[in-house]
Structure 1
Amino acid sequence: MTARREAILRVVPRPGDINSNGHIFGGWVLSQMDIAAGIVAARRAQGPVATVAIEAMTFIAPILLHDIISVFAEIEKVGRTSISIRIEVIAERDRGAEEVKVTEGLFTFVALGENHRPRPIKG
């Protein structure tokens, strides 16, 4: 997947993001995924969006302190007011010698209009 498209986000976890097991907190990873998905959804919706669902979240491998995280996003479905974004996170380890898929999930956003209410997404 990393060879076919550009990462939406590339992030390095900080020491404060680590848990007692020596891995990065799942919540930190989830927030990075939500940021990346939100960027893609807002571009497609041509305006503000809000996360309404996170489905099929799977943690495959831990993220370690010195990993460089690349977050990839792909639009899976566009509805009348919603957009579903498939997210995949790849950890680059050992100074780029190894790439490990660490998590994936499906994030759904709704396009927001006036008064923060759902609005139709243009074709």
Structure 2
Amino acid sequence: MSEPAETPPQSQPVGRIIAMPADTNPEGDIFGGWLLAQMDLAGATPAFELAHGRCATVALDGMVFHQPVAVGDEISLYAHVVSTGRTSIRVHVEAWKRARTHPSNASVRVTQGVFTYVAIDQDRKPRPLPGRE
């Protein structure tokens, strides 16, 4: 029995980027650290909006790489807030690839993870989220 095909989130992606040759590891595959950095930037978008300013990444929970990424693949990044604390914001981020050379043009989930950000002040100290002072 085959599993149902996954589809990307219905929301607009936070960002899109093309995997380039400079983003590869010594074996020629896209470096996982490059993808992690793109996801961190994507997760920061809703965190900064909610915090009304500067945030710092403090944790990453449960990231799993489901599929490899090849040079030329278009990566779409989706992010949404899953919970907040007094100073913290947890954001679920998914990365989906679309192989530009594949005739079906289908998107496949590559990885996902939950990033935790903390709102910080000008001295890089935690500050309450707006409305939580």
Identity, % of aligned pairs?
A: 38
TM-score computed with the length of structure 2 as normaliser: 0.87
Alpha-carbon distance in 2 for matches of 1:95, 1:15: 22
**Matching residue of 2:124:** 116
How far is the alpha carbon of 1:42 from its aligned partner?
Answer: 0.4
Alpha-carbon distance in 2 for matches of 1:3, 1:103: 13
Amino acid at match of 2:65: F
**Matching residue of 1:40:** 46
**Matching residue of 1:50:** 56
Amino acid at match of 1:32: Q
SS at structure 1 position matched to 2:39:
helix
How far is the alpha carbon of 1:66 from its aligned partner?
Answer: 1.4
Are residue 8 (structure 1) and residue 18 (structure 2) matched?
Answer: no
Give the gaps of 5 or more residues in structure 1: none
Does the 8 Å CA contact 2:59/2:117 hold for their aligned counterparts? yes
Give the gaps of 5 or more residues in structure 2: 1-6
Alpha-carbon distance in 1 for matches of 2:75, 2:103: 12
Aligned CA-pair RMSD: 1.4
Does the 8 Å CA contact 2:55/2:118 hold for their aligned counterparts? yes
Q: Write out the 4+ residue segments of structure 1 that deviate beyond 6 Å after TM superposition.
A: none
TM-score computed with the length of structure 1 as normaliser: 0.93
Amino acid at match of 1:26: G
Amino acid at match of 1:111: A
**Matching residue of 1:101:** 109
Q: 1:75 to 1:14 in 2, by over 3 A?
A: same
How far is the alpha carbon of 1:40 from its aligned partner?
Answer: 1.3
Alpha-carbon distance in 1 for matches of 2:72, 2:104: 11
SS at structure 2 position matched to 1:118:
coil
Of 60-69 and 113-122, the range deviating more from structure 2: 113-122
Alpha-carbon distance in 1 for matches of 2:70, 2:77: 15
Of 78-87 and 13-22, the range deviating more from structure 2: 13-22
How far is the alpha carbon of 1:111 from its aligned partner?
Answer: 0.2
Cα deviation, 1:10-32, whole Å, max 9, x if unaligned, reads: 00011111224432100000000
Of 19-28 and 40-49, the range deviating more from structure 2: 19-28
| Larger helix percent | 1
Q: Which residue of the other structure, out of 81, 84, 87, is the alignment partner of 1:81?
A: 87
